[in-house]
Amino acid sequence: MSKNKLYYLLAGLVALALIVSACGGTPTPTTEPTEAAPAVDTAATDAAMEAAHAAETQAAGEAMHAAETQTAADAAATEAAAPKLGSPEFPITMAIAPSATTDELIASGNTIADLLSQETGLTIKAVEEAYHVGFPTDAAAILIIELDGLKDGMERLTERILAICRQNNVREIRVARDQAERDKIWAGRKGAFGAVGRLRPNYLVNDGTVPRTRLPETLAKVVEIGKKYNLPIANVFHAGDGNLHPLILFDERDKDELARVHAAAMEIMKLCVDMGGTISGEHGIGVEKIQGMSLIFSVSDIAAMKKVKAAFDPLNLFNPGKVLPETEKAA
């Protein structure tokens, strides 16, 4: 019996005793069974209710545990069955193609790709000599396409991309068969900067960005700029987002060559702006590109930026001359 019910029962008995004592008699016989019977029934009912509640709680706990166990098992099975993002179950496709294919693939909007290209195959030759990936050194360009995501629909998407490549007279298409082959292909892309560093003592990295459908046209003009200044330029692109990385190779000990490098870099930045792009896609402005800010910002734009900087740095102590140009020209 619960404590509250026991308390009220005892209080009732005490009150009854006081009434009987005041009246000088005892209650009628019919009253005692009526009071005693509910006390016995209440105790039995309370015990039964507590036992039922305990059984119900235990059953609910066991059911919840079983459900959680099954949910965890289902989740593990689903995770094992479906490929994880960033670790594709389906292989990377490597396409050797002319730039027209790159343009159409980009326009289809279904790939994450990087393009290594140069008219003379400078980048490809450097990568192949350094990493022995198996790239054909006489190819004008290599487009690396990676697909990832859920298994459903992946084969259909792969076939669509391969069909576009074939329609544009791709000379060779390779599909990685396992993770080792995927890693080898990407080692060539990720190591491209280091590979071209073997060709000359120094290189200057440009970081312009153009609309991705204008990548082939921009690449051709970058090659012309290299010829104009008599400088070798190796190119590495993000074909998926239009970010260029022309690597201008030079020897900083040659002061004349160094001057031509800066002139070529400025012309490449202007080219990107003329193509509808900008002077930096991911690396930032930096000292090399600071004068190129006038290509995309007006005098009033730069003046507004200087006012913001002055609010935090009124004495111009924070990297003076490195964040914003000291003199501006209208864009």
> What is the domain partition of the chain in residue ranges?
3-59, 84-199, 203-296
What's the confidence (pLDDT) of residue 216? 85
What's the confidence (pLDDT) of residue 320? 87
Average pLDDT over residues 128-141: 84
Average pLDDT over residues 62-72: 56
Share of the chain above pLDDT 90, in %: 27
Average pLDDT over residues 185-203: 88
What's the confidence (pLDDT) of residue 34? 45
What's the confidence (pLDDT) of residue 197? 84
Q: Which helix (H) or strand (E) holds 44?
A: helix 31-81
Q: What is the pLDDT of residues 225-244, one digit of tens each?
A: 999 999 999 988 888 889 99
Q: Which range, 12-26, 28-42, 151-165, 258-272, has the best average confidence (pLDDT)?
A: 258-272
Q: Bridge-partner residues for 209, per DSSP?
A: 243, 278
Sign of CA dihedral 110, 111, 115, 119: negative
More confident residue, 255 or 193: 255
Domain 84-199 bears CATH identifier 3.40.190.10: no
Q: Is residue 36 predicted with pLDDT exceeding 70? A: no
How does DSSP assign 220-251, residue by residue? Answer: HHHHHHHHHTT--EEEEEETTTTEEEEEEEE-
Q: Is residue 62 predicted with pLDDT exceeding 90? A: no
Place of tokens 């235990």: 58
Show the tokens assigned to 50: 């507590």
Share of the chain above pLDDT 70, in %: 62
**Are the CB atoms for 128 and 135 separated by under 8 Å?**
yes
Query: Are 84-199 and 203-296 the same fold in CATH?
Result: yes
Q: What are phi and psi of 134, to 5 degrees?
A: 110, 15
How does DSSP assign 63-93, residue by residue? Answer: HHHHHHHHHHHHHHHHHHHSPBTTB-SSPPE
Domain 203-296 bears CATH identifier 1.20.1250.20: no
